[in-house]
Structure formats: structure tokens, C-alpha cells
Structure 1
């Protein structure tokens, strides 16, 4: 018997619709960028979707966007990414949103902290290429991995600060963020060429950064079935064969080459612990074995792996304790005092200790007065740099205001605040109402002669201009 009441039932439909880009490739879109596309397609702000559809434990009283959330973990491989995928999937009617995060590689990466970058990063040439090919710009998942410093396609360093306003976005998802545009001044982040940020592949550090970027790109290009086979246990299982083949069975040679403590490798081989992702990246570079083969436990590749001669001097040592025998404390004290009076003091006490090769706590216990002076000098330098950036932005804003007012005056239009604000937004400036009011008054006093000329010219022709700039 056929029930006619079920034949005319409209199936449930998703309230939003957007197609993720780059699926199945290493250039796959990240979830935070996809959320921005969903909000843009629905003509709403990301916060509206967050407040109305995402059930997150947050302080509703403050109304602050992303309150009590780790927005940098949206694209990761932990509970935050799982919660966001489970919340967004019903909204768009898709079951493959975990491919926009590192969840398919969760078993391979583990719960290692520091995998996701805490700052928004992008490749200007990739964004420019998206628009040049007739599409919309989107931000890649690869850019969210903190271990990847360069773009594997254009071999340029990823940028974190807007080239126009100099502001660095602290989160990949914010109230006013739009893919490919600065979250502060709304200026375009794409660029056709980026020669100053090009990476020199001839240097050891440049070759290492390119290797790591391409290594993670190959991991993101894997399908779900291949990614499920990757694990850190398989990587540990390859170490005995690699030690026997490339290092003639001597574990100490591997430790010296990779700058690992001997106890660390022993703990791995005994099964008491698993290597972190940073240790696996270092092993991949030292052995010149792709991270994909290392995590897959490819014994054929391990059996034919010779000892490489790559340099690791630019990488920090994994040893927790620094040898202090024969330490020249007088030389260290002279270096620290000289840095205070120099033109370029250390940014922080941690940077000073790292430059001397000694733990910050031990160096602070030895030189407490110098530690306080270097800390204060670094803080003062950062404040001066922030003030200089603020003055530069204010000067650029004032000059742009003068340019916009002069352009309106030349077109016989009264430069009221609304028209000037609209022109400034088209130039990519993010306007603060109270600060802009003072700037407008200052610029009007500078252009008082041209404004009076505009009024006399309108009177000669028998007409005037109202505050909207229209002829009467």
C-alpha cells in the first residue's frame, strides 16, 4: 500500500550552500576560509552564523566574537576542529568538511601542540592567481600549518602582515575577515610578484624550508584511505632498519647527525614514547626521506636510504640541557651589556638567552639586573616600533583624505564626511569615526582656500552646493 502523504513531502534542505575548493589536492581550502565563503554567499556576517547556528560555550553577555574559542584550532586535528565540522556540516549539507581540516591526518600528527599557526598567513601570488584565473580568492589549509614557512608553488615566504596598513591578523577567522583581504583596512592581499620574499634554495635554510613545505603539501594531497595508513608507530618501526643501513647500526651517529639526545631515540625504540611532529620533520630532512614514506613505514625506501650530508646547524638542538662546563661568563656579561647600549637591542630576554646558548632561567639567576634592563629595553623598542607604525598609518590616512577632498573639489562636489568616507573605503582604509572626524576638520582647515573658491565659483554661475554636493 502506497502512502500518498509521503510522496509530497519536501526533503530537508541545507540553509546555506557553498562549494569548497581544492578538494583532493594539496591546495585544498581551509575550513575557516570556507566559513567566510558560506557567510558571503548568504550575505551575512560570519558572527551571525556563529551566534545563530554554532552552539559553543561562550559568554553571551559580552557578545565578543570568538569569546572562549581557540579560533586558530578550527583547521586543526583536535576537538575544536571536530566540533566545528559537526556544527557546520548540517548547515551546508556536506559530509566531507573534515577534508578542509587536518582531521584525516590526526592519527599521524597526534596531539602535538603548536601544529597550527596562531597568525593568519597567506601567499600573495596564490591569491593573485585565483583572481587571474577568473575565480574568487580562497585561503589554503597548508598556510595554517606552522611548520610550513614558504609556498611550495612560488617558493616565497608566507606573509602575516598587511602590506598597506602593516597590521598582522591574529586569527584566521574574525568579525570582519574576508578571504584574500585584510581584516583591518580591507585592502587586497594578492600580488603578482613577490621578489623580496623569495627563498634562496641554494642556502641550507632555504633548502630545508622548501623541503618541509613540499613534504606537507604531499601529505595534504593524499586521499582518506592513504592518510588513514599513516602513523607515528610505523615511523618508529623504520628506525632500526635506517640505523643499520645508513649509520652502520650506530644509534649515536643518528643522534649526532640529527642533534637528538640519545635518551630520546632510546625511548622511541623501546616503545615508551612516540616522536613528536617536529621530531619527524627533522628526521625526514636528515634522512632525506619524504614524510609521507616515513609515516607510512615504507621499508623499501628505508632499505635504500643512504646517509645524507645535509646540514642541520641552523636547527636548534633538541637537548634540554646545555653544557655549561667552561662557560665564559665574563664574555656573556660583556655581550649582554653591549646589547643594551647598541642600536639594536634584543627583543626580549628569551632572545638574549637563545643568542648566548643558555637557558633563560639559568641566565636570569646569574645576571638578574641585566635581565631586567634587557627586558625593559626590548619592551621600549617594541613600543617605539608600534608608535612609529601608528604615526605612519595616521600620516597615510591624512594624505589620502587630502587627496580625496581635492578630487571631490575638482569635480565641483562638496567634500562632506560621507563622500570622503566612501572614497577612503574604496582606497582600502578602515575608518574610525571619532579619529576620522578630527582628521577631516584638520584637512578642511588646510583646504579652506579651495573650499571658499568652490563656493564663489558656484555663486558666479548662479548656483550653490548643498551638503550632499548637489547643485541647487
Structure 2
């Protein structure tokens, strides 16, 4: 015979899943399971609770449009109502309401619903009811610490997003659009940084915070004293915060966001659970800055052996190039000796500059010779046209009489205009 722990409760006294663990259930998941146990939709259950407490809302009130697991006053109200109806105490532990006086709202909520496919698959394999974890509703948590994989936001069957619990009828673990099992998705291994964040948030959720509202500022002052000798400007610049933002935390009642607390935990070598429990009396900063191990790809230079360069021989080769009939550029000289242009200027500066200067003068002389030949050709054409009886001639007419090579010269009309000006001015 099944024993009822709360025989006089109005609604079934469901026990929350994963309470006091990093995998604690979210209040949204609890509402879905509670509705299923009563054989009704989640929306019907929510409507009944609102009517029971004579709470008036708009006609189009959709339960799935509310984040019941957040740290808003609405989440706290729903936790209190369900606790009263089920007889299960402390359902606010299924929300972030206990951290309202510690966490700022920016950067807290994810952009779309996420879940761990492996967690759903494991729940189903064990014969347990799949449920939604509260940690999945916190933006910095991108991975599942238990299975070392990234969270998923797209149904593996219909490829839609936001199909975890955004509907009137919800069965946790199944897509609200196509009904497919969300535990069938292909997972990707998470990097250590993502796992570290998931571990810290999991520790935070497993313990109720002990620091009260009045203790937040003293906690922050202790943090700044340990991490920056009590200097706000040093603390802000050293750990990537704005100076005005830190001042707002200490003097204007502002609160650090979850990412700010994670930054403090990372560089301070302390867990979020310890910070929010106020266990900072014997806290000591790590001697060396913490560096997360990152799986880097193999270097593309792996296997390349270093070489010894004979710079005396390279300088001698450059001097020999100065005697070549046709000057060469410094880039071509570098290719011939197998050394880059920058290294030539660094280790054989005099010879490199001489090679480059010789090639520069050669190019300038070649260009001048080409321009002189082109102008001579234009003058000869002009004389020919004038001798034929033409009194005037335009630059366009002269250009039409030139060969294709001359017509394609950059600035050809400038050359023609220069010849005409010298004749008629």
C-alpha cells in the first residue's frame, strides 16, 4: 500500500527531483509533472490555481510565457502557492528567487530553452520520469557536468527551437511541436571552461545562500580587499569590470550579474557556494593566476625543423646581385637566398638597401625612357597630321591613331595633353 506523506494536501504532494543537488528540478518542470499527475494540461492546472487564490490575470495568460524558474516576484509567488496546495515546503528552491538579493538580472536568462539529451536519455533508461533541470535556465551554463557534453536547443526530430516546455500541454523530455523524444539528439563534448562554469553553478544551486541582503556589500568589500588590496579602480581594470559598475555595487545598491560572480570565483580561486555562504574569512588568493586547460589543435608548424642561416654568405650573394646586368627587386633577392625581406633588412641592412635602391632607380629610369618614347611617338603623329593639312586636332583624335599598346598606357591622355600644350602654348 502506497503511503501518502501529505494526506490532507489539496494537490498531489509530489517530491521535487534532485533537491539539494546540482541537478535540482526547475519549478516549470514541477508544474508539468504536477499537471500530469492530475490528468490535466499544465495550462488548466495554472488556471485552476489562479482561480483558487482569486488572482486576476488577463484572458490570454499563458503559463509557458512566464519563466516560473526565474528570481522574479512572480516565481516566488507561484512557489508559495504550490507549496500551500501540495504541502511540500520550500518549493522556492526550484527557482532562483533565493538569489534575488545576490544576482543582477542582466545575462541571467538564456535566449532559448536548452536541455541535455543525455540526461533525458538516462532518466528514461532508468525508468524514471524525465524532468527539466534548473541549471539549464541559467545562461552561462552551456554544458552538462554529469555527461560532459554541450546542452541542446533544437529538437533532433523537427529541428525546431523553444519546444521544451512552451505549450499548454507539456510532457518533460518530449518535443511540444512534433512529440519526439528530446533525448535522441547527437551531443558534442564540452570544453573544460564550459564544464567549470556548469560545476560552479551546480554548487550554487545545491546550497541555499547564507549571505543576506545586508551582507552583500560587506562580501563585495571583502572580495575587493582580497583581490585588489581594497582598490576599486585596480579591481575593475584587473578583472574586466567597469569602475562605475563596481562603485554602483558598493554604494548604489547594484548587484553583480552571474557572469561577474563567475569571474570573481575563477580569479579568486573560490567557489560560488563558498561566496554565497559567506565563507571568506580564511580565503586566500591563489599564488599563480588560474588558467583553464584548453584543448588546442595541433600547431601547423609541428614538425618544421629550424635552420641555421649563413649570413656572411647571404650578404656576399646580395653584393653579387648588385653587379647583375638587370637590377632585381628585394623580394626576388630574398627568394634567391631563401630569406624573407624583413629578415634581410634586419640582418643584412646595407646590402638589402643597396639592392632595393638600385632596383628603384632602374624602374624610375625605365619609366622615364618609356614616357619619352611615347611622347616622341605622339609628336611624330601630330607632325604627320599637321603636314597632311589638318589645322587642329583633338586629344581623342591622336589617341585613336595610336597602337593598342600605347592606348593602354596609364595616363595616356595626360601625355597627349602635355605634348599639345608644349606645341600651342
- Structure 2 length as normaliser, TM-score? 0.59
Partner residue, 1:26: 22
Partner residue, 1:59: 58
Change (3 A) 1:263 1:230: closer
Structure 1 segment 432-443 matched on structure 2, within 5 A: none
Alignment partner of 1:216 is 2:201: yes
Partner residue, 2:286: 305
Alignment partner of 1:198 is 2:197: no
Post-superposition offset of 1:46: 1.0
- Local SS of the residue matching 2:144: coil
Partner residue, 1:260: 241
Which of 250, 260, 278 is equivalent to 1:279?
Answer: 260
* Deviation sequence 1:41-63 (CA, Å, 0-9, x none): 11111111122222454332xx5
- Local SS of the residue matching 2:143: coil
Do the aligned residues in 2 keep the contact of 1:25 with 1:220 (CA within 8 Å)?
A: yes
Change (3 A) 1:92 1:308: same
Q: Which ranges in structure 2 are unaligned for 5 or more consecutive residues?
A: 1-6, 293-425
Do the aligned residues in 2 keep the contact of 1:29 with 1:138 (CA within 8 Å)?
A: yes
- Structure 1 length as normaliser, TM-score? 0.54
Change (3 A) 1:94 1:173: farther
- Local SS of the residue matching 1:52: helix
Structure 1 segment 172-183 matched on structure 2, within 5 A: 172-183=165-176
Structure 1 segment 68-467 matched on structure 2, within 5 A: 70-72=65-67, 74-109=68-103, 112-169=105-162, 172-191=165-184, 194-195=186-187, 197-201=188-192, 207=193, 209-222=194-207, 224=208, 226=210, 232-244=216-228, 252-268=233-249, 273-310=254-291
Post-superposition offset of 1:234: 4.1
Change (3 A) 1:200 1:273: closer
Please provide the CA RMSD for this pair: 3.0
* Deviation sequence 1:30-81 (CA, Å, 0-9, x none): 1111111111111111111122222454332xx5634xx8512x01122110
- Local SS of the residue matching 1:54: helix
Change (3 A) 1:118 1:35: farther
Change (3 A) 1:251 1:305: farther
Do the aligned residues in 1 keep the contact of 2:94 with 2:134 (CA within 8 Å)?
A: yes
CA radius of gyration, larger in: 2
Change (3 A) 1:180 1:305: same
Q: Which ranges in structure 1 are unaligned for 5 or more consecutive residues?
A: 1-10, 202-206, 312-472
Paired positions, count: 283
Paired with 2:61 and 2:242, the residues of 1 have a C-alpha distance of 45
Change (3 A) 1:190 1:234: farther
